[in-house]
Chain A
Amino acid sequence: MSVTELTYRQAVARAIADEMEADDKVLLFGEDVGAAGGVFKATEGLYERFGSNRVLDTPISEQAIVGCAIGASLRGLKPVIEIMFADFAGVCFDQLGNELAKYRYMTGGQVTVPVTVRLANGAGGGFGAQHSQSVENWFLNIPGLTILTPGTPGDAYALLRAAIRDPNPVLYLEHKNLYNLSGPVSDDDLDVIGRAAIVREGSDITLVASQLMRHRALDAAELLAAENISAEVIDPRTMVPFDLETVQTSLAKTNHLICVQECSPGGSWGATLLSSLVSESLELFDAPPLLVGGDDTPIPYAGVLEAAWLPSPERIIDGVRRTLAY
């Protein structure tokens, strides 16, 4: 396909449709994904196009959804499943962390488990503490899971197609506050897993941010440009495997780094990134690296409280000033 303008939500549906078209072993199931087109409308039109044998509505049974996908994948199917709000991963944590991630390893490689798990991630929409978390952080310490965090329609499309084609279990996190974002989508390059994107070039400081925070980091970078501060923005796009090299190359140029993340600091991907950089590349830093993230609290409901919890462009700019003034 040539370059098309799609919303992030349309890019998700298009990626699934294109893989279902290409391979009849690909199927989709989850809560309300079929006749209703998904609670976020990210699977709209698939049920009508591919029928009820390949697009199935399930009961509200997250353990059954993930387990059924695992079992089906053992026989060569390539299930794409939806866990709706990513926070619901809590009710099927065993299936994701103990079964999906370890099946191939525990059997000594007797099986492959090509399951793609879609989860709607992230805060900013007033959904409260149990419908707003960024759950990639929950799974970082479980080897065996590939974790993808697209931040644009183009990445949403390419990463989802790559996920479905991948022979390994993939957690694919859709940011629910990006569903309406429009942007170019193309199938020119689907080899995107494990590759970060430099989304804005700069020379004074490196900002590493994903999903909603990628866009806030870009906003901050534009505002900083007016002050003659040149920020480079990197979107990792993939949390596991993480493209450390692209970040290190940028750091070698800017010697300053901030990671902007939509979660508390403890056990987070940003903390992991900073730890790796300090261990491997301490000599590249002219100032201590900084983690700008959510507060160490559950995500609050009220508009003003949630806005204060989430890193804003202003908080990012404040961090940049402190880092450069070190």
Chain B
Amino acid sequence: MTADGTAAKRRSTGKAKPDSPGLELLARMLEIRGVEDEVQRMFTQGLVRGTTHLCQGQEAVAVGVCAALREGDTMTCTYRGHGAVLAMGAQADAVFGEIMGKAKGLCGGKGGSMHLTDVAVGAYGAFAIVGAHLPITVGLAFASRYLGEDAVSVCFFGDGTTNIGAFHEALNLASLWKTPVIFVCENNLYGEYSPLRATTPIDRLADRAASYAMPGVVVDGNDVFAVIATAEQAVARARAGDGPTLIEALTYRQVGHSRSDPAKYRPAGELEEWLERDPILLLERKLIEDGVDETQIAELRGTVQQQVIDALERAKSWPEPELESRFEHVFA
């Protein structure tokens, strides 16, 4: 339960809401891209400790799936989770603040880049141990059923997770108990530094759903509208009490695994090929095809970029945590 004992309610995000749904999706994706680009810069300025894992190129998965959710639904994600937490409605300044270890960061500076959590918007945690959050998401979803609610739980994870034990235990139990979970595998072709084919004997990760008697669906993870359509089906199935779905969203990590990885292992031309299919570019093209004015898109880009910069400046101005705060929250 939340700190004050109340059920999580999607708070008003206070974020820019352009008039068309397509532009709103674009705004959310631009915000994630803008935040990730800034985090990358913050590293060079020494504003970020430890490591960070960025998701440029994968924005359509987080934004598309979260667009299929409603208030009361819950979400968990991985250490590459800045995008998913923002997509749920977390404020960019509190995200930046947490990444910089500030007192007003999402977790008071106790979590950092790999543990962004905002229970108030249904973002129940980002996890730094591969696979650990899959069973936890089954529990979040189990609780919905137990409490007689129809809320669903989404769990984002990478392709590498499908080889760890917790993945199999979680899918098995979720299907056995028909818990309302949407397992979203972001197949970005690399598990840390290793290409998928070096670690995994199958090509289609969605095939693994068959072992657990649940639907396994493959979707173009760079096409936000395709992601929404696929997620809506899985959400409807979960809400109706028919159990979980495994979605494999095909996408691409445009940057290295973490800040210390220049991703030199990528074959020549691969990045360029995927940049042609950048999810933001694809969405902008689609919007223009549908009659949205190019200047409107350019304006939106400027507005969102300015909001991201303002959020970063606010977070920079926030104080460091009080030293005594490190003793808080070990026990309730």
Contact partner, A106, options B111, B133, B169, Cβ 8 Å: B111
Q: Which of A56-64, A173-181, A197-205 lies at the interface?
A: A56-64
Q: Which of A3-11, A95-103, A156-164, A272-280 lies at the interface?
A: A95-103
Q: Which of A73-81, A184-192, A215-223, A296-304 lies at the interface?
A: A73-81
Contact partner, B106, options A73, A75, A108, A168, Cβ 8 Å: A108
A114 and B1 alpha carbons, distance in the complex (Å):
9
Report A1-58 residues with CB < 8 Å from chain B CB.
27, 53, 56, 58
Residues of A contacting B106 in the complex (Cβ-Cβ under 8 angstroms): 108
Min C-beta distance of B31 to chain A, whole Å: 22
Residues of B contacting A74 in the complex (Cβ-Cβ under 8 angstroms): 1, 119, 124, 136, 139-140, 143
A69 at the interface (CB under 8 A from B): yes
* Most chain A CB within a 10 A radius of its CB, from B137, B330, B331: B331
A237 and B124 alpha carbons, distance in the complex (Å):
34
Contact B117 A107 (CB under 8 A): yes
A283 and B106 alpha carbons, distance in the complex (Å):
47
Residues of A contacting B172 in the complex (Cβ-Cβ under 8 angstroms): 59, 61, 64
Residues of A contacting B110 in the complex (Cβ-Cβ under 8 angstroms): 105-108
Min C-beta distance of B244 to chain A, whole Å: 13
Contact B132 A95 (CB under 8 A): yes
Residues of A contacting B115 in the complex (Cβ-Cβ under 8 angstroms): 106-107
Contact partner, A59, options B74, B119, B173, Cβ 8 Å: B173
A110 at the interface (CB under 8 A from B): yes
**Contact size class for B?**
35 or more
A124 and B67 alpha carbons, distance in the complex (Å):
57
A99 and B107 alpha carbons, distance in the complex (Å):
16
Contact A99 B136 (CB under 8 A): yes
Residues of B contacting A71 in the complex (Cβ-Cβ under 8 angstroms): 124, 135-143, 153
A196 and B182 alpha carbons, distance in the complex (Å):
46
Min C-beta distance of A48 to chain B, whole Å: 20
Residues of B contacting A144 in the complex (Cβ-Cβ under 8 angstroms): 330-331
B109 at the interface (CB under 8 A from A): yes
A98 and B132 alpha carbons, distance in the complex (Å):
9
Contact A64 B107 (CB under 8 A): no
The chain A residue with its CB closest to the CB of B173 is: A64
Contact B166 A63 (CB under 8 A): yes
A128 at the interface (CB under 8 A from B): no
| Given A67-B135, A73-B139, A77-B143: A108 touches B1 (CB 8 Å cut-off) | no
Contact A94 B146 (CB under 8 A): no
Q: Mark B119-155, 1 if CB is under 8 A from A, else 0.
A: 1000011010100111111111111101100000100
The number of inter-chain residue pairs (CB within 8 angstroms) is: 157
Contact B135 A106 (CB under 8 A): no
**Contact size class for A?**
35 or more
The chain B residue with its CB closest to the CB of A103 is: B125
Q: Is the interface of B mostly helix, strand, loop or mixed?
A: mixed
Report B280-305 residues with CB < 8 Å from chain A CB.
none
Residues of A contacting B118 in the complex (Cβ-Cβ under 8 angstroms): 110
Min C-beta distance of A99 to chain B, whole Å: 5
Residues of B contacting A76 in the complex (Cβ-Cβ under 8 angstroms): 1, 5, 7, 143, 147
Report B231-254 residues with CB < 8 Å from chain A CB.
none
Min C-beta distance of B293 to chain A, whole Å: 41
| Given A103-B125, A107-B119: A68 touches B135 (CB 8 Å cut-off) | yes
A105 and B177 alpha carbons, distance in the complex (Å):
30
A195 at the interface (CB under 8 A from B): no
Contact B332 A112 (CB under 8 A): yes
Contact A107 B111 (CB under 8 A): yes
Report B168-185 residues with CB < 8 Å from chain A CB.
169-170, 172-173, 176-177
A292 at the interface (CB under 8 A from B): no
Contact A99 B332 (CB under 8 A): no
Residues of B contacting A266 in the complex (Cβ-Cβ under 8 angstroms): none
| Given A74-B1, A168-B331: A110 touches B169 (CB 8 Å cut-off) | no
A131 at the interface (CB under 8 A from B): no
Report A219-275 residues with CB < 8 Å from chain B CB.
none
A112 and B330 alpha carbons, distance in the complex (Å):
10
The chain B residue with its CB closest to the CB of A66 is: B135
Residues of A contacting B328 in the complex (Cβ-Cβ under 8 angstroms): 109
A288 at the interface (CB under 8 A from B): no
Residues of B in contact with A (beta carbons under 8 Å apart)? 1-3, 5, 7, 74, 105-111, 115, 117-119, 124-125, 127, 129, 132-144, 146-147, 153, 165-166, 169-170, 172-173, 176-177, 328-332
5 more CB-based (< 8 A) A-B contacts, given A67-B170, A70-B135: A72-B139, A95-B135, A104-B329, A107-B125, A108-B110
Ranked 3 nearest A-B pairs via Cβ? A71-B139, A67-B135, A108-B108
